[in-house]
């Protein structure tokens, strides 16, 4: 009888300890001011990114629950997401997006609170250029925009588009691809096999401070990302008036690498490697 009472006490004590384990895990990413309760008070965290900049957020997933992430808005994109470890976000165009992080239990026999919101981020994305388009520039460009012509195998480059905001991203599905072509050129997108390819896209918009050569390089691997590097090469011009950006762009398809997210970032892979001490000669 004494053994039975002891076993019951140990079992009850173990059950009471379980919520503390969960709390110690997911509490690590709660912003200051949140409460450690079943329904914590969510205090939004404000972040600012420039177009092309990334933000890595650690996630406290474990064998009991994962951490799904949702993004509302077009200015921020998920480029890599391990539901147990981290999510990598990238600012792709000017604007504001809201990011919501949840904890979701793998098994919940009661079906109660199986998915809980644990963090909200409000991310403002700003252009890297400071110049504003001249009055009437958008209307003029919209009337004279040519349809892009492929300059090679699945590659497009030009100096005129209707994409007014700076836009840097890797497009990996047909829906985004078609939306970009309708928005930037007013025409259907060319067919592309997105099971095999992704497209690196760099648009400088109407805020660019000069005319550049947009150079897309060879991809490299960085963690769980396939990085497509690009650089802006200043073109020598002799102008009789102020420079007027016209939405120049460069798009190129790259073969996807299984198990890796695809991202477009300014700077060569060689430079990135040397900064991290990953290449010889660093």
pLDDT in tens, 227-238: 999 999 887 666
Residue percentage of the chain with pLDDT more than 90: 43
Q: Residue 257 pLDDT more than 90? A: yes
pLDDT on residue 237:
67
Give the span between the Cα atoms of 161 and 186, in whole angstroms.
9
Looking at domain 37-126, its CATH class is mainly beta
146-175 CB burial, b ≥16 within 10 A, e <16: eebeeeeebebbbebbbbbbbbbbbbbeee
For residue 281, pLDDT beyond 90 = no
Is a pLDDT exceeding 60 seen at residue 135? no
pLDDT value of position 2 = 43
The three-state secondary structure class of 6 is helix
Residue range 165-175, pLDDT digits in tens? 899 999 999 99
**Tokens read off for 45:** 């965290």
Q: In the chain, what are the domain boundaries?
A: 37-126, 137-275
Question: In terms of Cα–Cα distance, which of 86, 127, 155 is closest to 247?
Answer: 127
């Amino acid at each position: 009888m004494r053994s039975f009472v002891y076993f019951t006490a140990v079992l009850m004590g173990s059950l009471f300890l379980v919520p503390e384990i969960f709390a110690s895990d997911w509490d690590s990413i709660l912003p200051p001011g949140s409460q450690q309760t079943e329904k914590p008070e969510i205090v939004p965290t404000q972040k600012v990114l420039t177009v092309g900049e990334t933000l890595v957020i650690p996630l406290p997933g474990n064998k009991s629950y994962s951490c799904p992430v949702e993004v509302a808005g077009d200015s921020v994109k998920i480029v890599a997401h391990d539901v147990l470890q981290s999510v990598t976000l990238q600012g792709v165009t000017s604007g504001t997006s809201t990011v919501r992080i949840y904890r979701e239990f793998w098994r919940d026999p009661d079906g109660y609170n199986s998915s809980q919101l644990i963090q909200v981020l409000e991310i403002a994305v700003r252009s890297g250029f400071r110049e504003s388009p001249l009055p009437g520039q958008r209307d003029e460009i919209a009337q004279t925009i040519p349809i892009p012509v492929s300059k090679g195998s699945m590659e497009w480059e030009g100096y005129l588009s209707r994409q007014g905001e700076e836009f840097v991203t890797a497009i990996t599905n047909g829906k985004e691809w078609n939306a970009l072509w309708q928005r930037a050129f007013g025409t259907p997108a060319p067919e592309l096999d997105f099971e095999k390819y992704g497209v690196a896209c760099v648009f400088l918009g109407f805020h660019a401070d000069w005319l550049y050569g947009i150079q897309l390089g060879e991809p490299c691997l960085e963690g769980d990302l396939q990085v497509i590097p690009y650089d802006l090469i200043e073109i020598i011009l002799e102008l009789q008036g102020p420079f007027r950006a016209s939405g120049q762009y460069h798009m190129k398809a790259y073969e996807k690498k299984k198990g890796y997210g695809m991202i477009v970032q300014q700077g060569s892979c060689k430079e990135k490697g040397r900064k991290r001490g990953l290449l010889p000669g660093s």
